[in-house]
Amino acid sequence: MIVGEIANYPGEWLQAMDAVMGFNLRHVLLGAINGQIEPARATRMIDRITTDAGIEGMLKSWIVIDNHDILRIATQIPDPAQRRLAQVLQFTLPGAPNVYYGAEVGMVGWPDPQNRGPMRWDLVKDDNPELKWMRSLIALHNSNRALRIGDFRTMESNKLLAFERHTDKVLETALVLAPRERELGGYSRYKGVR
């Protein structure tokens, strides 16, 4: 399988390779999280990316929030509620969630070379809330066939980034309703995945 490190729109690239690193999707996702892109517009943008690229190409492509060339997610999104919302989308949108080492334990990293710093093994503890959260997202993704291989359909909403993932089986449907950033108000009020 060939996965291209393509920062551009993925549509035509997926005619030449199997998958891409979803940097374009990353920009939409983060724009929606930080309030720069209204939820309804972000939903339409993700739908267009998925339609143009094709669901098969999207399912193989990586959903990247951070990596060695980008600020770490805990640095980009210091608010835990916003960061968790971004990670929920990373694990529920069509594609293969690609977690940069250290994101699962809350590592921070500013511009080069700090974003490439060594793994903080001292943070790998069962009581680390970031690690517990990541394990719950992995379990959700692994236990829900619709999130792994399901098709993508948008749901109309002005205040939420809202979509459905579904397969050919009715009971294999996942509805994802992501509130806009200013409506989060803190993780304790967030009604997402726990």
- Look up the CATH number of the domain holding residue 49: 3.20.20.80
Q: Quick one: how far is CA 27 from the chain centroid?
A: 11
Q: Is there a domain that residue 43 lies in? A: yes
Taking only the tens place, the pLDDT of each residue in 48-85 is: 999 999 999 999 999 999 999 999 999 999 999 999 99
Taking only the tens place, the pLDDT of each residue in 97-128 is: 999 999 999 999 988 899 999 999 999 999 99
Q: Is there a domain that residue 53 lies in? A: yes
Q: Is there a domain that residue 163 lies in? A: yes
Q: Is there a domain that residue 179 lies in? A: yes
User: CA nearest 34: which of 162, 178, 182?
Assistant: 182
Q: Is there a domain that residue 194 lies in? A: no
Contact 139, 104 (CB under 8 A): no
**What is the domain range of residue 26?**
3-189
